[in-house]
Amino acid sequence: MRIHYIQHVPFEEIGYIQEWLTENNIEVSTTKIWESATFPSLGDFDGLVVMGGPMGVYEEELYEWMAAEKTFIKYAIGAGKKVLGICLGSQLVASVLGANVYPNNGKEIGWFDVSVKPGLDIWLGKDIETVFTTFHWHGDTFDLPEGCINHINSPACENQFFTQGENVAAIQFHPEATSETVNAMVENCSNELVPDNFVQSAAEIQQKSNVKNFSGGHQFLSKVLNRLFLLK
């Protein structure tokens, strides 16, 4: 298995995914968009992970690489590659599958519960907690692409995790979060921490950044990564 991942900003690293990659001896390559928007040939990787970032998928005029990245993701899906999008990555996947992406009614930033809908255990091939706490940092949402199934929601955001068939998955929240990535997002995006129904303060985010809350996202993500990329 060869996995390529796209990172959009230096402070949104792959977090727990790095631990999973190391444990499973996965061959890894990366595109760091801020350095060079150069993407590999389709024959050079088996799986693609598209990470988060503060930009919106509808901001092609502000980010000259955005259209090219969408085309690359679309070609990867069309070629039958295993594709996982996280946060901005999930929005990019939704967009290339034909769904609208737009600002949500409010931002969802901090540690909040998500609820798993019946049927996710069928896609995963194993049981999963029906409610778990995980980290969020997003202001946009998307309509569910045609032919996809949404498996997870939260009070602030309906479409939190969708799949298309066997090869495509998209996660709106941040199950890959670690103490390092949370601290980096707080440090670099603190201007977004404007009090609202689903926006926690920096102090509350730090207080809730504990082993139990991290483990819920990591356990979920491990199952998704195993199912999507290793078929186990």
In tens, the pLDDT along 159-196 reads: 999 999 999 999 999 999 999 999 999 999 999 999 99
What is the structure's pLDDT at 232? 67
Residues with Cβ < 8 Å from 218, sequence gap 6 or more? 16, 175, 176
Domain positions in the chain are 2-230
Is 3.90.470.10 the CATH classification of the domain at 2-230?
no
Q: What is the mean pLDDT of the chain?
A: 97
Q: Considering the entire predicted model, what is its pTM?
A: 0.97
Q: Are 101 and 145 in contact (CB under 8 A)?
A: no
Residue 76 confidence (pLDDT): 98
pLDDT over 90 percentage in the chain:
96
- Angle at alpha carbon of residue 154, lines to 142 and 119, rounded to 5°: 85
Q: What tokens does 143 get?
A: 């309509």
Element containing residue 223 per DSSP (H, E) = helix 211-225
| Token pair for 225 | 């990564």
**pLDDT tens, position by position, 28-48:** 999 999 999 999 999 999 999
> Residues 110-168: pLDDT tens digits?
999 999 999 899 999 888 899 999 999 999 999 999 999 999 999 999 999 999 999 99
**Could you say which DSSP state residue 120 is in?**
H
CB atoms < 10 A from the CB of 199, how many?
Answer: 20
18 falls in which pLDDT band (50, 70, 90)? very high
Confidence of residue 197 (pLDDT cuts 50, 70, 90): very high
Two structure tokens written together for 7: 């990172």
Measured over the CA atoms of residue 180, residue 229, residue 216 and residue 143, the dihedral's sign is positive
Main-chain phi, psi angles of 27, to 5 degrees? -75, 130
Per-residue model confidence as pLDDT tens digits over 4-13: 999 999 999 9
Q: Name the residue with tokens 């990564």.
A: 225
pLDDT of residue 231: 81
Least confident of 19-23, 104-108, 121-125: 121-125
pLDDT for 27: 96
Residue 81 has pLDDT above 70, yes or no: yes
Say yes or no to pLDDT of 61 above 80: yes
| Strand ranges inside the chain, DSSP E | 2-7, 27-32, 47-50, 82-86, 101-116, 131-142, 149-154, 157-164, 168-171
Tell me the CA distances in angstroms from 227 to 2, 170, 213, 221, 222, one per residue in order: 15, 13, 22, 10, 8
